[in-house]
A and B are shown apart, each in its own frame.
Chain A
Amino acid sequence: MAEVVLENICKTYGNNFRAIDQLNLSVEDGEFLILVGPSGCGKSTALRMIAGLEDITSGSLRIGGTDVVDMPPKDRDIAMVFQSYALYPHMTVFENIAFSMRLAGKPKAERKKRVDEIAKTLQLTSLLDSKPANLSGGQRQRVAMGRAMVREPAAFLMDEPLSNLDAKLRVQMRAEITSLQKQLGVTTIYVTHDQTEAMTMGDRVAVLKGGVLQQVDTPKRLYESPVNAFVAGFIGSPSMSLFEATLTGDELMAGAFTIRLQDAAFVRRPGLRSYAGRKVVFGIRPEHLYDSSLQSGRKYQTIPARVTSIEELGSEHIVHLSIDAVRVDSGDPDAVQDFGLASNAVAKFEPVSTVRSGSEIRLALDDAKLHFFDPETHLAI
Chain B
Amino acid sequence: MTRQKRSHHKLKRAVAPYLYLSPSLLIIGLLMLLPMVTVIAYSFQNSAVLRRDPSFAGLKHYQAIFDDPVFWASLWHTLYFTCMSVIFHMTIGMVFALMLNSDRINPTLRNILRVLYILPWLFTAVIIAVIWRLLLEPNGVVNSILMQIGIIGSKVEWFSSPETALHAVTFANIWAGYPLFMVSLLAGLQGIPKDFYEAADIDGAKAYQKLIFITIPQLMPIIISISLLDFIWTMQVFPLIWITTGGGPIYSTEVLSTYTYKLAFSSYNLSQASASAVVILLISLGLTLFYIRYQKAR
With a cutoff of 8 Å between Cβ atoms, the chain A residues found around residue B213 in the complex are 88, 99, 103
Residues of chain B contacted by A100 (CB below 8 angstroms)? 203-204
- Is the beta-carbon distance between A82 and B214 smaller than 8 angstroms? no
**Which of B195, B205, B218 counts the most chain A CB atoms within 10 A?**
B195
A375 interfacial by beta-carbon distance below 8 Å: no
* Interfacial residues of chain A within 63-88, with CB under 8 A of chain B in the complex: 72-74, 78-80, 82-84, 86, 88
CB distance from A155 to the nearest CB of B (A): 11
Q: A88-B214, A90-B218, A90-B220 are in contact. Are A78 and B202 (CB under 8 A)?
A: yes
Q: Does B199 contact A (CB under 8 A)?
A: yes
Interface of A (DSSP majority class) = loop
Q: Is A273 an interface residue (CB 8 A)?
A: no
Query: Of residues A52, A73, A151, which shows the largest number of chain B Cβ atoms within 10 Å of its Cβ?
Result: A73
Instruction: Give min CB distance, B217 to chain A, whole Å.
Output: 4
Chain B residues whose CB sits within 8 angstroms of the CB of A80 once the complex forms: 198-199, 202
Known: A99-B213, A103-B209. A86 touches B201 (CB 8 A): no
1/0 per position for B205-217, CB-CB distance to A under 8 A? 1000100011001
Is A365 located at the chain interface by the 8 A CB criterion?
A: no
Residues of B close to A86: CB separation below 8 A: 193, 195-196, 198-199
Tell me the count of chain B residues lying within 8 A, CB to CB, of chain A.
17
Which chain B residues (178-228) contact chain A, with CB distance < 8 Å? Answer: 193, 195-196, 198-205, 209, 213-214, 217-218, 220
Nearest Cβ distance between residue A91 and chain B, in whole angstroms? 8
Q: In chain A, what residue has the closest Cβ to B210?
A: A103
> A74 and B202: CB pair below 8 A?
yes
Alpha-carbon distance A74/B203, docked complex (angstroms): 6
> Of B195, B204, B220, which one neighbours A74 at CB under 8 angstroms?
B204
Write the A85-122 contact mask toward B (1 if CB under 8 angstroms, else 0). 01011110000000110011000000000000000000
Interface SS, B side: helix
Pick the contact of A73 from B196, B202, B214, B220 — CB < 8 Å? Answer: B202
- Asked if A104 contacts B204 (CB within 8 A), the reply is yes
Q: Which residues of A contact B196 (CB under 8 A)?
A: 86, 88
Range of interface residues on A (Cβ < 8 Å): 20 to 34
Given contact pairs A90-B220, A99-B213, A103-B209, A51 touches B193 in the complex (Cβ within 8 A)? no
B217–A90 contact, CB under 8 A?
Answer: yes
**B204 and A84 within 8 A (CB):** no
| Contact indicator A72/B201 (Cβ below 8 Å) | yes
B201, A73: Cβ atoms closer than 8 Å: yes
Q: Is A53 an interface residue (CB 8 A)?
A: yes
Write the nearest CB–CB distance from A104 to chain B, whole angstroms.
6
Cα A151 to Cα B201 in complex, Å, equals: 13
- A151, closest chain B residue (CB): B203
Contacts of A72 in B (CB 8 A): 201
Question: A82 with B203: in contact, given A88-B214, A90-B217 (CB under 8 Å)?
Answer: no
Task: Say yes or no: A103-B204 contact (C-beta < 8 A), given A88-B213, A90-B220.
Answer: yes
Q: Which residues of A contact B218 (CB under 8 A)?
A: 89-90
Q: Contacts A90-B217, A90-B220, A99-B213: A84 and B195 contacting too (C-beta < 8 A)? A: yes
- Whether A99 lies near B203 (C-beta < 8 A) is yes
Cα A72 to Cα B203 in complex, Å, equals 11
Complex Cα distance, B200 from A73, in Å, reads 10
Docked Cα-Cα span, A91 to B217, in Å, equals 9
Beyond the given A78-B202, A104-B204, please list 4 additional residue pairs across the A-B interface where CB-CB is below 8 A: A53-B198, A80-B202, A99-B200, A103-B205
A-B residue pairs in contact (CB < 8 Å), sample of 24:
A52-B202, A53-B202, A73-B198, A73-B201, A73-B202, A74-B201, A74-B204, A78-B202, A80-B199, A82-B199, A83-B195, A84-B193, A86-B195, A86-B196, A88-B196, A90-B218, A99-B200, A99-B203, A100-B204, A103-B205, A103-B209, A103-B213, A147-B203, A151-B203
